[in-house]
Amino acid sequence: MTDATSETATSRLREEHELILAVADAMQTLIAAAAAERWDLDAFQDCVTFIRLFADACHHGKEEDLLFPELEQAGLPHDQGPIAVMLAEHRQGRAFAQHMAGALDGARAGNADARATLRNAAAGYVNLIRSHIQKEDNVLFEMADQMVRGPACQKLCGAYGGVCARSFEGHTKEQLQALGDRIRDRALRA
Ligand SMILES: [Fe+2]
């Protein structure tokens, strides 16, 4: 965990990446079990909730509403380069989550096409988010840590705290982290 004195412009976001990657690993296990006809559809539903509310609303929300505008103010362009690529990948992730959500009812009814859609969209999300996080951690966040320092960094980190204290469709951040842990437990039993 970071504390106020050691927090950088990206340390809280990097910590969140670790949980998102752990859930991506769990999703890979759930997808492999589903391919062998061992479906845990409640776990897939939890994955959709986790992606929508933790990875997107809570995590990407801080990037898009706070970090990226700060970097733009410091000179990075919005419409090209790393920020534009990250924004496009966030949109792709939302599309995968929507495809998963849209296939859940059919998958529960045993529809083979819906199950294939659910599995493929989940696999697409796992591939996307792994390469996306690698790019953020190793490229954009390295730039951010150099560009946003001192009082600007403290102000940004304070604003992160405000987002993290929000309710995400009735869930706290801590509850969503616990949901991520439950998905990992389910995958261990898949
Ligand atoms: Fe991120």
What DSSP assignment string belongs to 92-127?
A: HHHHHHHHHHHHHHHHHTT-HHHHHHHHHHHHHHHH
- Report how far ligand 1's centroid is from the alpha carbon of 72 (Å): 17
pTM summary value: 0.95
Q: Label residue 118 exposed, middle or buried (CB < 10 Å: 0-12, 13-18, 19+).
A: buried
- Report how far ligand 1's centroid is from the alpha carbon of 127 (Å): 14
CB burial of 142-176 (b: ≥16 within 10 Å; e: otherwise) equals ebbeebbeeeebeebbeebeebbeeebeebebeeb
What's the confidence (pLDDT) of residue 187?
97
Q: How does pLDDT run across 74-90, given as a tens digit for each residue? A: 999 999 999 999 999 99
d(CA 65, CA 110): 40
Q: How does pLDDT run across 90-142, given as a tens digit for each residue? A: 999 999 999 999 999 999 999 999 999 999 999 999 999 999 999 999 999 99
Within 10 angstroms of residue 111's Cβ, the number of other Cβ atoms is 14
Q: Domains in the chain, start-ordered, CATH in brackets?
A: 11-188 (1.20.120.520)
- Report how far ligand 1's centroid is from the alpha carbon of 163 (Å): 14
Q: Are 186 and 47 in contact (CB under 8 A)?
A: no
Reported residue count of the chain is 190
- Report how far ligand 1's centroid is from the alpha carbon of 129 (Å): 9
- Report how far ligand 1's centroid is from the alpha carbon of 101 (Å): 21
Q: How does pLDDT run across 136-178, given as a tens digit for each residue? A: 999 999 999 999 999 999 999 999 999 999 999 999 999 999 9
Kindly tell me if the per-residue pLDDT of 6 is higher than 90: no
Question: What is the average pLDDT across 40-58?
Answer: 98
Could you tell me the two tokens for 172? Answer: 């706290």
- Report how far ligand 1's centroid is from the alpha carbon of 124 (Å): 17
Q: How does pLDDT run across 9-33, given as a tens digit for each residue? A: 999 999 999 999 999 999 999 999 9
Kindly tell me if the per-residue pLDDT of 2 is higher than 50: no
Q: Are 51 and 92 in contact (CB under 8 A)?
A: no
Confidence label for 5 from pLDDT (cuts 50, 70 and 90): low
What residues flank ion ligand 1 with Cβ within 5 A? 136
- Report how far ligand 1's centroid is from the alpha carbon of 36 (Å): 31
Question: What is the average pLDDT across 50-70?
Answer: 98
